[in-house]
Amino acid sequence: MTLNAFSDPIDVVMPWVDGSDPVHRESLLRHWPKQPWMRPAAYRFRENGELRYALRSIHFHLPWIRTIHLVTNGQVPSWLDLDRPGINLVTHAEFFAEPSGLPVFSSSAIEANLHGIGRAGVANRFLLFNDDFFVGQMVSKEEFVLPDGRARLHVMAARLPRFRLRADRYIRMLAFNNLLLCLAFRRRRWSYPPHVPLLLELDKLAWLHDRFGFWLRRTARHRFRQSTDASAKVLYINAIAERDRGRADGVVQVKLVQENVVAVRDDEAFSRSLAGLVAAPPAFFCLNDEIDDEARAGVRAVEMQAALAAIFPDPSPFEKDRVLSRPDAIERPGT
One digit per residue, the tens of pLDDT, for the chain of length 335 reads 555 789 999 999 999 999 888 998 899 889 888 877 677 665 556 678 899 999 999 999 999 999 999 999 999 999 999 999 999 999 999 999 999 999 999 999 999 999 999 999 999 999 999 999 999 999 999 999 999 999 999 999 999 998 877 788 889 999 999 999 999 998 878 998 999 999 999 999 999 999 999 999 999 999 999 999 999 999 999 999 999 999 999 999 999 999 998 876 667 788 888 999 999 999 999 998 765 666 676 778 888 899 999 999 999 999 998 765 554 544 444 44
> Residue 153: which H helix or E strand, with range?
strand 152-156
At residue 47's C-alpha, the angle toward residues 327 and 200, to 5°, is: 80
Asked if residue 304 lies in contact with residue 279, where contact means CB atoms within 8 angstroms, the answer is no
β-bridge partners, 159: 191
Give the CA count within 13 Å in the CB-facing half-sphere of 256.
17
- CA atoms of 192 and 329, how far apart (whole Å): 37
- CA atoms of 321 and 75, how far apart (whole Å): 18
- CA atoms of 128 and 293, how far apart (whole Å): 29
Q: Which of these, 186, 194, 222, lies nearest to 38 by C-alpha position?
A: 222
So what's the pLDDT on residue 327? 45
Residue 135: φ, ψ to 5°: -110, 110
Q: Which of these, 151, 208, 119, 123, lies nearest to 5 by C-alpha position?
A: 151
So what's the pLDDT on residue 269? 80
So what's the pLDDT on residue 333? 46
DSSP class of 14: E
Q: Give the amino acid at 152.
A: R
CB count within 10 Å of CB 4 equals 8
Give the full edge-to-edge strand order of the sheet including 125-128: 87-91, 68-72, 10-15, 125-128, 198-201
β-bridge partners, 149: none
Q: How far apart are the first and last CA of the chain?
A: 29
Q: Where are the beta strands (DSSP E) in the chain?
A: 10-15, 68-72, 87-91, 125-128, 133-135, 152-156, 198-201, 252-256, 261-263, 284-288
- CA atoms of 243 and 49, how far apart (whole Å): 39
